Chains A and B, each alone.
Chain A
């Protein structure tokens, strides 16, 4: 049981390049989330999804897009990377029941130069 898997684990981008981060979960969770974590700060919600085919904006959605074409996958896209998007990105998933705990992936460390 792999839980939540993020791909890739590390990436360096040049300003203006695009990339997609993949999150896959094998727990049949309805909810999926993308967070970013910057040094000395807590996690901030970028986008989330409450089910296949749905997405919604979190606290810091600008510069990111997401898609959830399949229940088990949640993709985070950066169309034109900026140095301000240098961060560690975490994906998480959970059941939709009230109080369900969230399971997090190992993170993707992204550097934009």
Chain B
């Protein structure tokens, strides 16, 4: 499994756009990039997943350059409720069981 590296923490203010970058230099052809969000005292929650270029849903956007060695999770106009830990995962897209490997994540603190 490709190892991921992301900042330990980030600070932002309400209404700002937040971009969290994840490095995954050893990503393989069959690997996807997946992001989960975890609020205090709760289990992680799936946010977004992508293979290349850009993916957007109602919560976030995911930007993946052509070489796929990094990816950026973009949260538009964050609010206080976006304060959470964000995990970048590389998931192997083969048949059979896929193991989710969580690193320490990026702790985002949104202030008023």
Q: Contact residues of A with B, CB < 8 Å?
A: 4, 31, 33, 35, 40-45, 48, 50, 56, 58, 90, 92, 96, 98-99, 101-107
A43 to chain B, nearest CB (A): 4
Q: Which of A56, A58, A96, A99 lies in contact with B93, CB distance below 8 A?
A: A99
- CA gap between A7 and B47 in the complex, in Å: 25
* Total CB contacts across the A-B interface at under 8 A: 57
Q: Contact residues of B with A, CB < 8 Å?
A: 32, 34, 41-46, 49, 87, 91, 93-105
Specify the main secondary structure of chain B where it touches its partner: loop
Given A42-B102, A43-B102, A50-B97: A101 in contact with B46 (beta carbons within 8 A): yes
Whether B43 contacts A42 by the Cβ 8 Å rule is no
* Nearest B-chain residue to A42, judged by Cβ: B102
What are 21 A-B residue pairs whose CB atoms fall within 8 Å in the complex?
A4-B43, A33-B100, A40-B104, A42-B104, A43-B100, A58-B99, A90-B43, A96-B97, A98-B94, A98-B95, A99-B32, A99-B93, A99-B98, A101-B34, A102-B44, A102-B100, A103-B46, A104-B43, A105-B43, A106-B43, A107-B41
